Amino acid sequence: MQFIVVIPARYASSRLPGKPLRDIKGKPMIQRVWEQACMSSASRVVIATDDQRIEAAALKFGAEVCMTRVDHQSGTDRLQEVASKLKLASNEIVVNVQGDEPMIPPQVIDQVATNLSIAADTGVATLCEPIDSIEDFLNPNVVKVVANLNQIACYFSRAPIPWPRDAFNVAQDSVPTPARRHIGIYAYKVDCLNQFITWNAAPLEYLESLEQLRFLHNNIAVHVTDACAPVPSGIDTEDDLNNLINYL
């Protein structure tokens, strides 16, 4: 089973300007993400960017770079452009690793690619993990996912789902056992990416601001299962960055 990793990296960030190039103990963030991805089983790791500053930095530390358009509405659109430029076959697997996850475990990259290759009737695979705090369960910035017995996603939401009607209140300490946080790593079949750019945004996608709902709206099965290793949160703020630097 072969797959490639694509790391989208945009310079603009409202909460942390220039995020991919922010220094983390002597290396830009994007280099640390790239190094983690290179430790996976991927046959190729490509940084996708629309910014020449990121391109220059990535070439300096030896990464392959694919320049993309600046007008993409979503990360999935950008990924499809990369697949097209690289002339990937329709059955190839592309793993999208976010450019702000410098501590992502290489084994979960392998896991999501393997899951997609095994789940023949799915077009997308992703991962999740148990939610262990009431704060996260109620937090709209923590995306939840519910799956069926075949590990196919039924729905993604910012709302606290599943909601136990008769046995839960916000003051209690325990979270419903099935509650899962969606982890934003995806594996796609290239054919599915090519279909994605032809679809209009789905009504629920607009409502929840979650682009993965476009796949469900168009009857594309999304495989989801618990990650094989803990996945640290991405770097979104100056505090996140400082906490990681202190940890390292």
Positive or negative, the CA dihedral 218, 220, 225, 231 is negative
Report pTM. 0.93
CB 88 within 8 A of CB 66: no
Q: Give one DSSP letter per residue of 30-95, joined into a string.
A: HHHHHHHHHTSS-SEEEEEES-HHHHHHHHHTT-EEEE--S--SSHHHHHHHHHHHTT--TT-EEE
The pLDDT value recorded for residue 231 is 92
CB atoms within 10 A of CB 150: 10
DSSP letter at 121?
T
The pLDDT value recorded for residue 26 is 92
Largest Cα separation within the chain, whole Å, is 58
Calculate Rg over the CA atoms of the chain.
Answer: 18
Distance, CA of 185 to CA of 199 (rounded, Å) = 21
What is the rounded (10 degree) CA torsion for 66, 70, 75, 76? -80
Distance, CA of 122 to CA of 192 (rounded, Å) = 9
The pLDDT value recorded for residue 13 is 73
The pLDDT value recorded for residue 168 is 61
Instruction: Tell me the two tokens of residue 99.
Output: 């450019």
The pLDDT value recorded for residue 172 is 58
Using 70 as the pLDDT threshold, list the residues of the chain that sit under it: 14, 167-174
The pLDDT value recorded for residue 143 is 95
CB 161 within 8 A of CB 176: no
The dotted CATH code for 3-230 is 3.90.550.10
CB 123 within 8 A of CB 221: yes
CB 224 within 8 A of CB 125: yes
Q: Give one DSSP letter per residue of 168-217, joined into a string.
A: --TTSSPPPTT-EEEEEEEEEEHHHHHHHTTSPPPHHHHHHT-TTHHHHH
CB 20 within 8 A of CB 56: no
Annotated domain spans of the chain: 3-230
pLDDT single digits (tens) 47-71: 999 999 999 999 999 999 999 998 8
